[in-house]
Structure 1
Amino acid sequence: MSAEIDSLVLEHLRHIRARVDQIAEDVGDLKHRMTSLEGTMSLVKREVAYGDETDARHQVSLDRLSERIARIERRLDLGDSA
């Protein structure tokens, strides 16, 4: 009877070991995917920052143009008379 119990315990331990190995492999895959995702997110953040920088430059250009138009209108006396 003791040999049967030992055999049953070993069978369960082998099953547990196989599951632990599978879980370890899955965790390794998830780590790899997370590293890839972090790299991609870093690129996205960089692109967003570049877009914000571009928007800021465009806004400065528009502000300068607006100031120039206002000066031209004042010189030509084209301002609103309202």
Structure 2
Amino acid sequence: MSEPETPMLQLLRRIDQKVDRLGERVDDLTARIGSVESQVASLRGDFVRLEHRQDRFDERPQRIEKRLDLVEA
């Protein structure tokens, strides 16, 4: 036996469909946020590598000055 199609039942079905669509959107947004988090983590690593390179560049003139005896060793 099928239930009679009441306005309340129709409303509940529409709500159920909307909740399902919202669940799909939340899943999609969760995946996208995970991707953004990965990219931010990668950028942080890039910045760390750049800082290390900058530190090495700062050391180069000091080494050159020592080699040329421009400063006391």
- The alignment's TM-score, normalised by the length of structure 2, stands at 0.80
Which residue does 1:44 correspond to in 2? 43
Identical amino acids, percent of aligned pairs: 24
Higher Rg of the two aligned structures: 1
Q: Does 1:58 align with 2:49?
A: no
Which residue does 2:17 correspond to in 1? 18
Runs (4 or more) in structure 1 with deviation over 4 Å come to none
Is the helix fraction higher in 1 or 2?
A: 1
Residue 51 of structure 1, CA deviation: 0.4
Residue 64 of structure 1, CA deviation: 2.4
Unaligned ranges ≥5, structure 2:
none
- Give the RMSD, CA atoms, in angstroms: 2.3
Alignment coverage as a number of residue pairs: 69
- The alignment's TM-score, normalised by the length of structure 1, stands at 0.72
Which residue does 1:33 correspond to in 2? 32
Matched residues in 2 for 1:30 and 1:37: separation? Answer: 10
Unaligned ranges ≥5, structure 1:
72-82
Partner of 1:28: helix, strand, or coil?
A: helix
Q: What letter corresponds to residue 8 of structure 1 in structure 2?
A: P
Q: Does 1:8 align with 2:4?
A: no
Matched residues in 1 for 2:8 and 2:19: separation? Answer: 16
Residue 61 of structure 1, CA deviation: 1.2
